[in-house]
Structure 1
Amino acid sequence: MAGAAARKMDMDKAPPRASRLQADLAARILRMLKDQGAGPGHHLVELDLCRHFDVSRTPVRGALKLLAEQGAVEARANRGYVLRGPVTEAPDLDVTNPEDEEDQRLFIAIAEARNQGRMPDQCSQLEVARLFGAKLPTVVRVLRQLAELGLVERKPGNGWSFTLPINSARARAESYAFRAVIEPAGLLESTFELDREWLDRIRAQHLAFRKRKWRDTLAVELFAINADFHEGIARCSGNRYFLDAVQRQNKLRSFMNIQWINGAERVIDSIDEHLEIMDAMEAGDNQKAHDLMKAHLVLARDVEATV
């Protein structure tokens, strides 16, 4: 009896388990630091990480806390977190969670249902559980993940409301049409100033990802790299309205692109197109970069239309 009580006390004291989003984000932060060659004492700025990975403060804080528990970073008074030593490798973190696969299946199922118009804008936790035949604890965890991404909002009681419209072929086409106007134009702004530190980092990420063998579970990471590339160019434009437009589009696309449906070959082609745009920017030929960006977005639209 005493042993059972002690175990219960230990369970009560145990820290909450990291969510999949926090664990994935922590691993991505380590990979970013490795690509940057960051050294001991490197300051991790919370807001910069939010912008870089296009997530809110909540998952970033969770990821940094997880990295601190793993010994990769440490908290400093009034300074947030700093890197304890150089990142020589970025393995998966030790956050084994037997429920992860179940959570991921439900996450993808919700994305598919929303994209196909089979799920309403508002629903309760019990309705989600019935619709997908999922356990209620799984539903709660996944809805919280979606909330961290800014895709759903909690309503009074057990209700949840999606913050983005149901996806459709027309919505995708309209998004690409809008981006094909806005994103290339940012490259020709008189206020454009290339951030070479960002360029070196994002190029290294693209080259490293290009070497990896494609699997469907890399879709979220691919989107993060893709979003960083497009948002980074908008930030270089020096035009706050271009940047705001691209950030809004990235938020919309984050749920639409939870699955990569264009095949492994298109992954390589897309990365190569990005690299060609980077080369043009680095050479100071923004007109060429403009033309390449427009062609890239039009081609991406056409490829998706045929899938």
Structure 2
Amino acid sequence: MKPTIKKDLAEQLAPKIIDMARARSMRAGEPLREEAFAKELGVSRSPIRRGFALLEELGLATKEPNRGYYLTCDASTIDISDKLLDADPFEDFYLRVVDDVLRGEVPTTFFEAELIRRYEVPRGQLIKVLNRLANEAMIERKPGQGWEINNFLHDSNAHIQSYRFRMAIEPAAILEPGYKVDEVAFAKARQVQQELLDGDIFKLSRSQLFQIGAQLHELIVRCSGNAFFLEAIRRQNQLRRFMGYKANVDRTRLISQCQEHIHLLDLIQSGRRLEAADFLRNHLDIVGRLKTAKEAKDELEQQKIIEGSVST
């Protein structure tokens, strides 16, 4: 019986491993060397091994006794994003906790015992969700005991600054002299955006919708070949995840975003990178303003509800 893979960390590393393999033009049958990937990604060999194990679980790698892991197909043909979008059995509970945190119903500092009583769930299930939130930078474990919510979540000015930062980084990535379109990944990204327009917008969970959008923007930046740009956008995606969860409730708004994403891909692929950079900068500006305005409106309505309940 195979041991259970700790997917929280493995799911973060697996796409990066594939990105590296694609950058190296690795082919089916080539070995995945723990030491090389660990050094490049700045982690120890143990988490890299977990990432390899997840790739094996997904059918993208195979493990040979006493030899290690090997790719089962050419890296250029792999799009791991759709394989990692499978529904988590704890997804509903995870989103319930997210909603309560975003609404301020979970104290800024809290203990596991408090949430176990609040949600009436087994400790193991709660720990899995808390670890996921910690990996996503929503919360962090305090020294000793207890957890603390990231102040960024309720700082509207930080959200605005995040989009301003992305407006500087992402268009600049498109204009990098070494920019090279990943044709296979672009085709897959266009297909996913079209599937959203064909109905997936109203079927997928908020976390899945956010992940699709984040992966598309990471793809566009990754093709710049600039590792510093890519690391910056990955960090931003991690920090803004929960603002995205709030905004994604209005799913009809995502229709125009998907259409704009497809147009952006077309501009880049046709070699009109200067036009694409301007289009992306404007896209981020508008989306950032809309999300910030919606968040402010939602917070005002929530405050009115709280004040109304107190007065009665």
Query: TM-score, normalised to structure 1's length?
Result: 0.66
Counterpart position of 1:298: 285
Shift of 1:255: 3.3
Shift of 1:252: 0.5
Shift of 1:277: 0.9
Equivalent pair of 1:73/1:83 in contact (CA under 8 Å):
yes
Aligned counterpart for 1:249 among listed residues 212, 236, 248: 236
Specify the code of the residue in structure 2 equivalent to 1:224.
Q
Question: 1:127, 1:45 → 2: CA distance?
Answer: 43
SS of corresponding position for 2:248? coil
Counterpart position of 2:310: none
Q: How does 1:1-307 map to 2 (within 5 A)?
A: 41=29, 65=53, 68=56, 73-76=61-64, 78-83=67-72, 100=89, 103-155=90-142, 157-162=144-149, 165-189=152-176, 191-197=177-183, 198-215=185-202, 217-258=204-245, 261-304=248-291, 305-306=293-294
Equivalent pair of 1:151/1:163 in contact (CA under 8 Å):
yes
Specify the code of the residue in structure 2 equivalent to 1:74.
T
Equivalent pair of 1:216/1:259 in contact (CA under 8 Å):
no
1:227 to 1:60, Cα distance in 2 relative to 1, 3 A? farther
Specify the code of the residue in structure 2 equivalent to 1:271.
C
Percentage of matched positions with identical amino acids: 28
1:260 to 1:57, Cα distance in 2 relative to 1, 3 A? farther
Shift of 1:224: 2.0
Gaps of 5+ in 1: 1-13, 33-37
Counterpart position of 1:8: none
SS of corresponding position for 2:130? helix
Gaps of 5+ in 2: 20-25, 296-312
1:262 to 1:112, Cα distance in 2 relative to 1, 3 A? closer
1:161-210 deviations in whole A, cap 9, x for unaligned?
44563334333223223322332233234x34123334334333333444
Question: 2:205, 2:129 → 1: CA distance?
Answer: 18
1:179 to 1:92, Cα distance in 2 relative to 1, 3 A? closer
1:116 to 1:96, Cα distance in 2 relative to 1, 3 A? closer
**Superposition CA RMSD, Å:** 4.5
1:253-288 deviations in whole A, cap 9, x for unaligned?
223334553533322321211111111111111121
SS of corresponding position for 1:74? strand
- Paired residue total: 273
1:23 to 1:79, Cα distance in 2 relative to 1, 3 A? closer
Specify the code of the residue in structure 1 equivalent to 2:282.
A
Shift of 1:298: 2.1
Specify the code of the residue in structure 1 equivalent to 2:266.
D
Question: 1:220, 1:184 → 2: CA distance?
Answer: 25
1:136 to 1:216, Cα distance in 2 relative to 1, 3 A? farther
Question: 1:96, 1:274 → 2: CA distance?
Answer: 24
Question: 1:66, 1:126 → 2: CA distance?
Answer: 31
Shift of 1:300: 1.3
1:202-247 deviations in whole A, cap 9, x for unaligned?
3333334443433364322222221122222223334444333322
SS of corresponding position for 1:165? helix
Question: 1:65, 1:240 → 2: CA distance?
Answer: 25
